[in-house]
Structure 1
Amino acid sequence: GTPFEGQTSLALTSHCGKGYLPANVPSRRLPDDFESYVITEYLGYRLYNLVTEYSLRARAVRINYADPENPRRDFTHYAFFTEHFESLARRHGAELVNGEFDFASLDIGSTDQLALFNFMVGNTDWSIEEQENILLLRRTDGSVVPVLYDLDMSGLVSAHYARPAPELPIKTVRQRYYLGYCHDGNAWDELFTKFWDLHPEFMQTIATMPFLNRGERRRAGVYLETFFEILRSDRKRQAKIVDACRALPGAD
C-alpha cells in the first residue's frame, strides 16, 4: 500500500507565484516567501491535530514541476495534501452537514476548542454561522462538531496578502481577536488548562518541523509564546478572551 491508499481525491495546497499584488502592499515577495506560507499553514494543521481528533489530517510533499518543452525551467516546491471531508466524516462515523442546522445541537466543548485554537494562531477568517472555512459533522447522537480548515489568513502564517475583516477592531492578522461564544457553563479553566498542557507538544512540533528553516521555526515559536503570555495573565485572559466572547446564536 501507499500513504494515499483508498483515497480518490485530495485537496492540494501549493505555492503561488509573484502575481499581482494590491497597491497597498509595499513590496513584491519572492517564491521562497510563498513556500514558507505553505509550510507554515501545514504546521497549523499539525498543531490542530494535537488539540482534537476532529481535525483534518495533512501530509507534506515535495512536487517536481516539469516543463517538457524546456527542462531548464523545471522546479521543485513544497505543498501539502489534506484529507477529504468525506474521509474525516467516515473516520468518526459521522455525516457532513450541508446548509442550515440547529445551533442547539452544536457540541460546545469542541466549539470552544476550535475558537481558542483560532485565537492562538491569530485566525479570524472563519465563521460557524456562515460555514466559512468550517465544515460541520453530525455524530450519531445528533450533536454537531465544527472542524476548521484553511489557515493561510492567520497570524501564524502572516502572509503579505492577509488582512483582517474590516469590521474587526484589529489592524493586522498578527493581532488576535477572540470570536468564540459565551454560553452557560463556560468551562474556561478546563479549556485553558487543556491548551497549557499542550504547550510543550506545540513547541516540540514547531522545533522538529523538518520543512521550516531556523528563522521560520523561531517566528512561529515566538508568535505562539505571545498567546501563552495571555493565558499566563489573569487580566489579559479575562479581557482578551472571556470578556470578548460573543452571544451564542439562538441563545436567549
Structure 2
Amino acid sequence: MIKHALAAIAPALALLAVTTAATTQDDAPKPAKIFTTDNVLAVTIKGPWRTIGRNKNSGEEWQGEFSYSADGATVTLPVSLRARGLTRLDVCDFPPLRIGFDKQASKGTTFRGAGNLKLVTHCLKQEKYQAYPVKEYLAYRIYNQVTELSYRVQGMDIRYIDTETGRETERFGFLIEDPDDVAKRNGLLKLDIEGTIPPALDADETSLFMVFQYLISNLDWSVLGGPDEYCCHNARLAGKAIDERPVYALPYDFDSSGFVDAHYASPPDGLRVRNLRQRLFRGFCMHNDAVPGAVQAIREQREAIMAMVNNEPRLDGRSMDSAVRFLDSFFERVDSADGIASLTDSCRG
C-alpha cells in the first residue's frame, strides 16, 4: 500500500524538483553584463583565422567558439565571425570583426543580449603596433567620463586559436556597444536618417562631441551626413523621434586620431593641418556659447582621464608618455588666456 502511494506521488515530487531547480536558477544572481564594468575579460576565440584573413573582403560569415571564465568555470558560446571595416580591411594583417552571439546560448551569461557587436582587433602583428587598440579603447572610455551619450566598450585580453592550423595569438581587443543600446540607455532612439542640420543638434552635447574630438585630435567624422545610407560618418544620430528635435551625435572609430597616431592614418583632404596630431576645432559657430561649458566638463574630469591612461598596464613606457603629453597639451591650450577663443575662432558656419 505504501509502495502504491509513493508511486502515485512520484510525478508530483518530480515536478516539484524541476520547479524548485528552475526557481533557484532564476533567483540566482546573474553575472554582470558586458559594458557595465571596467573589468577587462580574458577570453579565447576559436575560428578559421587564416581563411578569414585570406577572404576578409568577401563578406562571408564563419562559425567560431567564444569562451571565458566565470566563477571558476569555463563558459563556451557559439559565435559567428565576419570581417568588417573599410580602411582597416586594406591595411590590417588581422581584420576588425563583427562577432555574433547566439541569443539562446548566451542566456544567463555575461554576454546575454549581446547580439552582433563590433570587435576592434590588433590589426597588425608587430609588437610596436599593439598600442593602437589600447589607446583607441582609452579614447572611448575618456568620452564615457564626460557623457552618457557615448558608446561603452568591453576590453578583452584575447587568445585567438586558429581551428585550421592550431596557431595561437594573444592580443588586446575590445567590443563596442550596439548603437540601439546606447540610445535606449539614454531614453532615445537610434535615428536611421540620411542627415541633419546644425540647428537640429543639441548645442551642449554637440559641443562636448566637438571638444572631445579636439582633445584627441580626430577629424575623421561628420555629424551632418555620410557616405552610407544613414547618417553619419563615424557617428550615429539619436533622438526622441525622427521628426523631433534635438538630435544627438554619438561618435565612434578613433583610430585616425592623433591620440592613437596610427601609422596608416592621415588627416582628411581639404583641411589645413600638417598631420594627425595638429588639432583643429570643427564645431559650429551657432554653438559657440556652449563651448566653455563643454571645455569645463572635460577639464573637471582631467584627473580621472590622466589616471586612466597612467594606470593602463597594456601601454609600454614610450606609448604611455606620448599619450600623457598629448592630453596635457590640450589642457595647457584650453587653460591659456586665449584658450576658448583658440577653439571658437575656427568654428564653422
> Residue deviations 1:22-74, cap 9 Å, x none?
xxxxxxxx622332111110010010100100000101112222234543x32
Contact 1:15 1:77 in 2 (8 A): yes
2:211 is the counterpart of 1:112:
no
Q: Larger strand proportion, structure 1 or 2?
A: 2
Contact 1:61 1:78 in 2 (8 A): yes
Name the residue aligned to 1:182.
Answer: 285
Q: CA 1:162–1:102 in structure 2 vs 1: closer, same or farther (change >3 Å)? A: closer
Q: CA 1:185–1:149 in structure 2 vs 1: closer, same or farther (change >3 Å)? A: closer
Name the residue aligned to 1:96.
Answer: 190
2:217 is the counterpart of 1:122:
yes
Equivalent residue pairs, number: 233
Name the residue aligned to 2:172.
Answer: 78
> In structure 1, what is the Cα distance between the partners aligned to 2:318 and 2:281?
27
Structure 2, unaligned stretches of length 5 or more? 1-107, 226-231
Q: CA 1:118–1:184 in structure 2 vs 1: closer, same or farther (change >3 Å)? A: closer
Contact 2:281 2:347 in 1 (8 A): yes
> Which structure has the larger Rg?
2
TM-score, normalized by length of structure 2? Answer: 0.63
Contact 1:49 1:56 in 2 (8 A): yes
2:215 is the counterpart of 1:137:
no
Q: What is the Cα deviation at residue 102 of structure 1?
A: 5.0
Contact 2:198 2:284 in 1 (8 A): no
Say which is worse superposed, 57-66 or 99-108, in terms of deviation: 99-108
> Residue deviations 1:189-239, cap 9 Å, x none?
322222221111110111122322232222111100000111121235423
> In structure 2, what is the Cα distance between the partners aligned to 1:184 and 1:102?
12
> In structure 1, what is the Cα distance between the partners aligned to 2:197 and 2:340?
30
Name the residue aligned to 1:27.
Answer: none
Q: What is the Cα deviation at residue 184 of structure 1?
A: 6.1
Which amino acid in the other structure matches residue 12 of structure 1? L
Contact 1:16 1:31 in 2 (8 A): no
Name the residue aligned to 2:149.
Answer: 54
Name the residue aligned to 2:252.
Answer: 149
TM-score, normalized by length of structure 1? Answer: 0.86
Using CA pairs under 8 Å that are at least 6 residues apart, name the structure with larger relative contact order, 1 or 2: 1
For residue 280 of structure 2, give the secondary structure of its aligned residue in structure 1.
coil
> In structure 2, what is the Cα distance between the partners aligned to 1:82 and 1:215?
27
1:221 to 301, 310, 324: 324
Q: What is the Cα deviation at residue 165 of structure 1?
A: 1.2
Name the residue aligned to 1:9.
Answer: 116
Say which is worse superposed, 49-58 or 182-191, in terms of deviation: 182-191
Name the residue aligned to 1:24.
Answer: none
Q: CA 1:137–1:41 in structure 2 vs 1: closer, same or farther (change >3 Å)? A: same
1:198 to 291, 301, 312: 301
Percent identity (aligned): 31
2:149 is the counterpart of 1:42:
no
